[in-house]
Structure 1
């Protein structure tokens, strides 16, 4: 089963990065490959949302239910999509008041072997660049800091 683990040390608070990741409606404006988002439910504890991904003629949609533990953790579980299994975690660890470690851990396996190759390349590409895209977005939203 493919697994993607990425992390970054950022000069923004855990709260700021949590808020940025949890603001899925803005993903299409900065995440390469994300062409749409629909949020079906959003409470203080959970979010149900669909992400539409498209790149190089391949498209896929996935709906996840996210368990929200402000400001330290977002746990993603699959509700609908082309995956046999899907699990994801965002972890935000405060290092100082204005710096944190951001970690993304994804495990997934596609239902269809035929879909697996093309969709896996699309999904892996988006997921691999997600932490970098979010760090760049944080600098745009909160300002670049050189601590």
Structure 2
């Protein structure tokens, strides 16, 4: 059975700022709880293939997604490789003004059966649920650093 995660936040940051932050996969280990590694495998103008390593409570899982970017509007994720039967989703960045936006993350995933399925499912669900909050904290932190 597939798990679906839907998170939305209204932010005092531009859609461009939030898009750029989410699109910067390589920086995820610096601020995303549970993300122990990130690697860009392939990159073209609007497509990034990236690998994330997630670790929590002694469980580590890696997966690769193909991210199709529509600059400052959306990032669509599709599974390339990993412990999932299926994984897909989308980040959306809706500008509300020059300095405010709505960020939404919709993910649907199903893990392959196996011994670590329950632990891996909890790991991914935990990290996915924390992603929007972590992006908000990171944007606020970067804004403070820029202001000082």
Q: What TM-score do you get using the length of structure 1 for normalisation?
A: 0.95
What CA distance in whole angstroms lies between the structure 1 residues aligned with 2:107 and 2:117? Answer: 16
Offset, 1:113? 4.0
Which residue pairs with 2:30 in the alignment?
Answer: 29
Q: Distance in 1 between matches of 2:117 and 2:136?
A: 29
Map of 2:46 onto structure 1: 45
Superposed counterparts of 1:46-85, under 5 Å: 46-85=47-86
Per-residue CA deviations over 1:23-75 (Å, capped at 9, x if unaligned) read 01110010110000110112221000000000000010010000010010000
Distance 1:26 1:85 in 2: 25
Give 1:115 deviation, angstroms: 2.4
Q: Distance in 1 between matches of 2:103 and 2:38?
A: 22
- Does 2:109 match 1:111? no
Number of aligned positions between the proteins? 144
Q: Which runs of 5+ in 2 are unaligned?
A: none
Q: Aligned residue for 1:93?
A: 94
Report the aligned-residue RMSD: 1.1
Per-residue CA deviation, residues 100-123 of structure 1 (Å, 9 max, x unaligned), is: 000000000011243221001000
In the alignment, the residues of structure 1 paired with residue 144 and residue 23 of structure 2 have an alpha-carbon distance, to the nearest angstrom, of 19
Gaps of 5+ in 1: none
Q: Does 1:5 align with 2:6?
A: yes
